[in-house]
Structure 1
Amino acid sequence: MRRLLPLLALCSSLAALAAGCGDSDRGGSAQALGAGDVIGMKALHFKPDHVQVPVGQKITWKNDESVPHDVKADSGADFASKTFGKDGTYAFTPTTAGTIKYECTLHPGMDGTIDVVAK
């Protein structure tokens, strides 16, 4: 049993690490979105779903799957795309710092966050 304790501790640590490495960025820090990067729409999720951009940087969403999507701000900004299909895109450029919450109105639970920071 003594020899198993270090192994069990290692397994427990690896399991905890793996739990924090899922597809969703919820609860974690925002991923910096560079100029030219896109927020993908895949498996009914925004990828990444939590990003950080400076004021004035264009944000582009791209539909990477065959089901239609849209993008609509819930708070922190005022934008709403039309529904678009595979390979379609929508872009928005934030003009003020703050937090923007947004969603795909066609798919409940498909939502994201943008942290807009001053330059």
Structure 2
Amino acid sequence: MRPLLPLIAITTTLAAGVAGCGGDGGGKATVLKPGEAISMQNLRFKPDHVQVTVGQKVTWRNDENIGHDVKADSGARFASETFDKGGTFSYTPTAAGTIKYECTLHPGMDGTIDVVAR
């Protein structure tokens, strides 16, 4: 009889890989509470996938010693100037949908906002 250990190891490795996909929370959006900010640190948005309600202000805060910006790629129209550590940028969505955004200064630094009706 052959041991099942190699099969179990492969299954566990595949499951762990799938669970880790999609940035923060394995692809599940973090509900952003009013007054909370999306942090910019280690060349990432944290959290990088959030959920807000229509009319809820979304604020990004630069927590790094390098400049960042925020620009909508789809689902909305906004673009900030470059801002340094401690600086912020805010946007208030007016309709439900999905917004994809990025820091244009740092390729791969991107995020998603799921906007839901109240």
Aligned residue in 2 for 1:107: 106
Aligned residue in 2 for 1:48: 47
- Report how many residues are paired: 117
Give the partner amino acid of 1:34. K
CA displacement at 1:13 relative to structure 2:
3.4
Aligned equivalents of 2:70, 2:106: Cα separation in 1: 10
- Structure 1-normalised TM-score? 0.83
Aligned residue in 1 for 2:59: 60
- Structure 2-normalised TM-score? 0.84
CA displacement at 1:26 relative to structure 2:
7.7
Q: 5+ residue gaps in structure 1?
A: none
Aligned equivalents of 1:20, 1:78: Cα separation in 2: 32
Query: CA RMSD of the aligned region, Å?
Result: 2.4
Q: 5+ residue gaps in structure 2?
A: none
Aligned equivalents of 1:37, 1:105: Cα separation in 2: 23
Give the partner amino acid of 2:40. M
User: What fraction of aligned residue pairs are identical, expressed as a percent?
Assistant: 62
Contact kept? 2:20, 2:26, Cα under 8 Å: no
Change (3 A) 1:26 1:76: farther
Change (3 A) 1:88 1:23: farther
Give the partner amino acid of 1:80. A
Match status 1:28 vs 2:23: no
Where in structure 1 do 4 or more consecutive aligned residues deviate above 2 Å? Answer: 8-23
Match status 1:118 vs 2:117: yes
